[in-house]
Structure 1
């Protein structure tokens, strides 16, 4: 199979290593990070390293603190459900089971959105890997998460934030201020601060829009506030983003034969999980999709993707059952849409992610406070 994952900067600079590095810093600084009396992990959802550097003038705090080597690799697929879970568990998607945006529930044979559709799904069973917060608590460290108030108690929060005490904040400044205060007040604390504003602005308006720049400036201003003495701060992202112009959209509709032998099209426009009908000829479908999407997307089978390590070195049976029979990974700045889906609102998105471009794959890994170089 010619398609390969992008190479990582090195083994210590992957988002799957962040959880262990933070815990090591709280245990005396025996790893990549120096010792800190408390640690704060700031996740700026959707902020790729390349877009950040391209807009350095609008993010002076982050760009000044960011050394040339302060870059990490995300995971495949480069989507929030998969990547955020990897950040907060230290496991690759094949192990934690959050293998995409919309994936098939094997027992129900329906697609579920892993960000929002948790009715009837036990988050602890669906995502069984202990979180960094559970590991911190086992070691006697207080754990807190500071996020958007509406996220408290959701299925996704139970899957990836369990073990932490939740605090809400309306704005980036509110959340950063609360994170700094918690880290200062609780010796040995692990604090997670979630900032989704850039991701939302990028999806709606694109990375070069005034709205995205304003969101980046607000986040940068929030992070410019004084970090308490002895508190280490690590700023990163789950994934990056790339703009997709409307002329780069391809609609996969029934009239074009795209649904022949296909039961579900899940995932998202830049990385689709395609599930075949039980009696379909999967080899024929794979050959046809590869031929018809040549130059627009790479099409691989589940077996090829698993064997190539796309989902990590370990793929559990539960995770394997959620992965599509085919994976369609957009090239360049293309996106592919299921033309038969009931909800077509996604076609209005400008900034997108899920695939393997450098804009999506590379994220910042910036050290501040007690972690500064």
Structure 2
């Protein structure tokens, strides 16, 4: 079964190209961004291009700077662990190995949350994600590097996997983080500064992207980015993925009573893109055929080999990444979501805004230039 990746209209730009473009801008090498005295990468987590345009009246700074072609494609799956790692290494998930939200640790045969369970699962960020980060590459070339984010994320396993090489500095509000990023870029010529804004993603998960709460988060981000960019500093505003609202009646619960766990050892991933791991002695072909039949209209179901052959994880897949990918991948269609009914933690079923699959709402993200990067 072929898998078709969506295209960014008028562009083949992808977030995996951000890291090399930022480095090129600091070296004065021709690129899509152009040269800059210092560079700031602002990531508004979860802010898709389509929802941003739909709410342009609440984001006059961003919408006003966003031309029709100022979009990029995310990676597969459209989830933070995979996408941010690609953005900050320049590598596809099949190379850096962060292939989903919750994936199986092959040696320990347990599911590991790629955002929060590094320490509890005893996973070493440097060996699990071995690709040099853009900050390590920039530092090696003599550039000061900084990561501005939320204090709670400092020193986490995920931060060590994707931000290593950068000096982490924390600030509370989006306005404070943006102001600090501008200050660092202005004070350190040749600097590469990363500024992380998770507010839209958090509001979207809890309330949905059409909610008043999400609009407030968008307005807060937009107001922060309205601050004047220092002379000579180039700013790129983008996102790791977008989001789509999933109403309760679009949820499908995969419970044991329905036979969904027959021959299945683990159900990982996230509700819009499951990694399904079969028992070692199970008939994988039979399971694949059954899941395809029973999920027709809800999701596309493909085998690991089909997904790799289709190139959804990139042109190359390392042995380590291959071992983490599910035997089956279940990619939600439309605005459906699929939940493991036997999981101990069912809190995720209260989420409204979700991502992980391949709809344009999840895949397309803004690629907005400010300051020295402006057209």
Question: What's the TM-score bracket when you normalise by the shorter of the two chains?
Answer: over 0.9
Distance in 2, matches of 1:370 and 1:273, equals 42
Q: Which residue of 1 aligns with 2:118?
A: 118
Tell me which residue corresponds to 2:5: 5
Residue 4 of structure 1: how far off its partner (Å): 1.4
Spell out the pairing of 1:250-289 with structure 2 (5 A cutoff).
250-289=252-291
| 8 Å CA contact 1:29, 1:36 repeated in 2 | no
Deviation string 1:109-151 (CA, Å, 9 cap, x unpaired) is: 0000000001211100000000000000011000000000010
Of 308, 326, 330, the residue aligned with 2:328 is 326
Q: Where does 1:124-203 land on structure 2 (aligned, <5 Å)?
A: 124-203=126-205
Q: Is the 8 A contact 1:203 1:350 kept in 2?
A: yes
Alignment of 1:1-373 (within 5 A): 1-9=1-9, 13-119=13-119, 120-373=122-375
Aligned partners of 1:145 and 1:11: how far apart in 2?
28
Is the contact made by 1:12 and 1:32 (CA closer than 8 Å) also made in structure 2? Answer: no
Q: 1:66-95: per-residue Cα shift (whole Å, max 9, x none)? A: 011000000000000000000000000000
Distance 1:190 1:313 in 2: 28
Write out per-residue CA displacement over residues 257-287 of structure 1, whole angstroms, 9 at most, x where no aligned residue.
Answer: 0000000000000000000000000000000
Shift of 1:2: 3.3
Q: Is the 8 A contact 2:3 2:307 kept in 1?
A: no
CA distance, structure 1, for counterparts of residue 175 and residue 264 of structure 2: 46
In structure 1, distance between residues paired with 2:138 and 2:207: 38
C-alpha distance in 1, partners of 2:272/2:104?
17
Query: SS at 1:111's partner residue?
Result: strand
- SS of 1:299's partner is strand
User: TM-score, normalized by length of structure 1?
Assistant: 0.99
User: Unmatched 5+ residue regions in structure 1?
Assistant: none
RMSD over aligned CA atoms reads 0.8
**Following TM superposition, by how much is the alpha carbon of 1:8 offset from its aligned partner in structure 2, in angstroms?**
4.1
Q: Note the C-alpha offset of 1:32.
A: 1.2
In structure 2, distance between residues paired with 1:9 and 1:15: 15
For residue 3 of structure 1, report the CA deviation from its aligned partner: 2.6
Return the alpha-carbon distance in structure 2 between the equivalents of residues 314 and 176 of structure 1: 36
Per-residue CA deviations over 1:303-362 (Å, capped at 9, x if unaligned) read: 000010010001000000000000000000000000000000000000000000000000
Aligned counterparts of 1:368 and 1:353: Cα–Cα separation in 2: 27
CA distance in 2, matches of 1:10, 1:281: 43
**How far has the Cα of 1:11 moved from its partner?**
6.8
Find the aligned partners of 1:169 and 1:335 in 2 and give their Cα distance. 34
Distance 2:302 2:6 in 1: 16
**Does the 8 Å contact 1:265/1:338 carry over to 2?**
yes
SS at match of 1:116: coil
**Does structure 1 retain, via aligned residues, the 8 Å contact 2:135–2:166?**
yes
Give secondary structure in 2 for the equivalent of 1:182: helix
Q: CA deviation at 1:33?
A: 1.3
C-alpha separation in 2, matches of 1:9 and 1:319: 30
- Conserved in 1, the CA contact under 8 Å of 2:11 and 2:69? no
Structure 1 residue 9 displacement after superposition? 4.5
CA distances 1:45-104 after superposition (whole Å, capped 9, x unpaired): 000000000000000000000011000000000000000000000000000000000000
- Residue correspondences, number: 373
| Distance (whole Å) between structure 2 residues aligned to residue 271 and residue 202 of structure 1 | 18
* Residue 30 of structure 1: how far off its partner (Å): 1.5
Q: Distance in 2 between matches of 1:9 and 1:210?
A: 29
